[in-house]
Amino acid sequence: MTRLFSVLFFLFYGCMFPQLKFDTLSPRRLKTTVTPAILVGYHYAGDAKDNTETFRASQMHIIEVVFAKIIEYGGNHGAAKVYYVGSDFIFNNRYDFFMAPKIGVSSSAGIALGAEVQFQTNFEKVIPRVMPYFGFGGGGGKLTVGYNFRLLKAENFPINTLQIGITWPIKRFKEKTI
């Protein structure tokens, strides 16, 4: 019983008083930085749009390359906001190659939330889509799960809807402190 009480006490104490006193007096407390960066990511989508497609035919491997503006709000427990523009390069087992130029925004403070507008194309037709996503992230990097929603009523271009992925900044340029 005393062990259970000790464990519950430390668990409660850690939840209620997680920060140390010097944490709030940190010189990084009010520091906000803006950093241009290049982000690269890999996403995977394996769900079939309908039951006529096989799992193997519907697999998609997506390489993401974007230019981003990362705004980090300082402190030891800071947050980040990312605006980006770029493209997805999509390899599909059934329909070969297509791409998706996109623009998006995300915010993260441990939990990442964001959305992007994509214009998926096979160079013959263009399908606009919006993809909200959520996951874990910070400092411009993220591990997310997203779902593509179509913006046109009729479309005959089969695109997977659910995807998981990871994105990370590979090159940061000169940061500016605000």
Bridge partners (DSSP) of residue 159 are none
Tokens for 105? 């925004």
Tally of CA atoms within 13 A in the half-sphere of 113 that contains its CB: 2
| 114: Cα separation from own chain's centroid | 7
Least confident of 14-18, 84-88, 153-157: 14-18
> CA 157, CA 23: separation in Å to the nearest integer?
52
DSSP letters of 106-153?
Answer: EEESEEEEEEEEEEEE-SS-EEEEEEEEEEEEETTEEEEEEE-EESSS
Tokens for 145? 């799960």
Contact between 45 and 163 (Cβ < 8 Å): yes
> CA 7, CA 11: separation in Å to the nearest integer?
6
For 69-103, write each residue's pLDDT tens digit.
999 887 667 788 999 999 999 887 766 788 889 99
CA angle 74, 40, 70 (to 5 degrees): 25
What mean pLDDT comes out for the span 143-166?
78
Strands 96-108 and 126-138: what pairing? Answer: unpaired
Which domains, ranges and CATH numbers included, belong to the chain? 31-169 (2.40.160)
For 106-142, write each residue's pLDDT tens digit.
998 889 999 999 998 888 888 888 999 999 988 778 9
Dihedral of the CA atoms 175, 42, 78, 117 (nearest 10)? Answer: 80
